Amino acid sequence: MALFTAAQRFSDGDRLDVAGCPVRLKVDGRARRVSLRVDRTKSEVVALAPSPRRLNEAVAFAHEKSAWIAGQLAALPGRTRIAPGGTLRLHGEAYRLEVGPGRARIDGDRLVAPDDANWGLKILRLAKREALTVLTERTALHAEALGRPMPTVAVADPKARWGSCRPARPGTPAAIRYSWRLILAPAAVADYVVAHECAHLIEANHGPKFWALCERLVGDPAPHRAWLRAHAATLHALSA
């Protein structure tokens, strides 16, 4: 039985419980009809409506498709916690996860941190520092290839995008922010994202000129984009 009435009002961003499954409402003016999609990074289903007036219709559709929603969410990977004795791939290379005295560090092909309650957090901080180092180096190379000044680079943990580029302003350099989780992806995939954001230093949109710049830097982007779509949930599932 649906847990709403026709008189209820819903807003963009509202979250629902549909047969025990999380569903988020979203208004998308580009949509032509009510639909559902799976947000793998947030482990939820999004009910899309072309306009606020059709949000009730999106809610009804979500309840109608509750079995489909449950099946889609059940197929998503659960949280993956790192643990001593395991491995973690950074930029395509496998590292053993170990407990050891002293400060947290990368030691050859090992990620080592002291045995305390924050072991996992310290290992992930190592991965984030490595991500900043590698992504900064690749950004410098691609920016130089495009003849653009080096932007400032930072890493964060966004859920909806792998990178973002803020154009330069008078007196302020351009700034690129990446998901640190790119260090968990194959090197070529992470490098594509760097090239993508560096191309935005010249082309702010995603038109033909933009994609031509991406191809100039890393070749055909399609395989890398496909890899990210297929593995996004797995990358975001990693935790301490």
**What is the pLDDT, as a whole number, of residue 114?**
95
Backbone phi, psi, residue 222, to 5°: -55, -45
**What is the pLDDT, as a whole number, of residue 7?**
57
**What is the pLDDT, as a whole number, of residue 5?**
45
Domains (ranges, CATH) in the chain?
15-74 (no CATH), 126-239 (3.30.2010.10)
Of 1-5, 63-67, 234-238, least confident by mean pLDDT is: 1-5
Query: Distances in Å between the alpha carbon of 210 and those of 84, 123, 136?
Result: 43, 36, 21
User: 27-32 contacts: CB < 8 A, separation 24 or more?
Assistant: 27/51, 27/52, 27/55
Backbone phi, psi, residue 156, to 5°: -145, -165
Query: Distances in Å between the alpha carbon of 111 and those of 32, 80, 102, 119, 123?
Result: 49, 17, 12, 11, 7
**pLDDT beyond 50 at 2:** no
Count each helix (H run) and each strand (E run) in the chain, helices first. 6, 13
Instruction: Give the percent of the chain with pLDDT over 70.
Output: 97
Mean pLDDT of 183-202: 98
Number of Cβ atoms within 10 Å of the Cβ of 79:
9
Under 8 Å between Cβ of 174 and 168: yes
Residue type, 106: I
> Residue 66 contacts by C-beta under 8 Å, 6 or more apart in sequence?
18, 19, 21
Of 27-31, 182-186, 212-216, least confident by mean pLDDT is: 27-31
The end-to-end CA distance of the chain, in Å, is 39
**pLDDT beyond 70 at 3:** no
Mean pLDDT of 179-187: 97
Instruction: Give the percent of the chain with pLDDT over 90.
Output: 77
**What is the pLDDT, as a whole number, of residue 183?**
98
Residues in the chain: 240
Query: What is the model's pTM?
Result: 0.75
pLDDT in tens, 29-87: 988 999 999 887 677 899 999 999 999 999 999 999 999 999 988 887 777 889 999 99
* Structure-block tokens of residue 201: 């230093």
Residue with tokens 């993956």: 80
Of 11-25, 73-87, 139-153, 220-234, least confident by mean pLDDT is: 73-87
DSSP state of 3: S
**pLDDT beyond 80 at 185:** yes
Number of Cβ atoms within 10 Å of the Cβ of 134:
20
**pLDDT beyond 50 at 1:** no
Rounded to whole angstroms, the maximal C-alpha distance in the chain is 63
Of 16-25, 74-83, 109-118, 181-190, least confident by mean pLDDT is: 74-83
pLDDT in tens, 11-24: 999 999 998 888 99
Could you give the 3-state DSSP secondary structure of residue 219?
Answer: coil
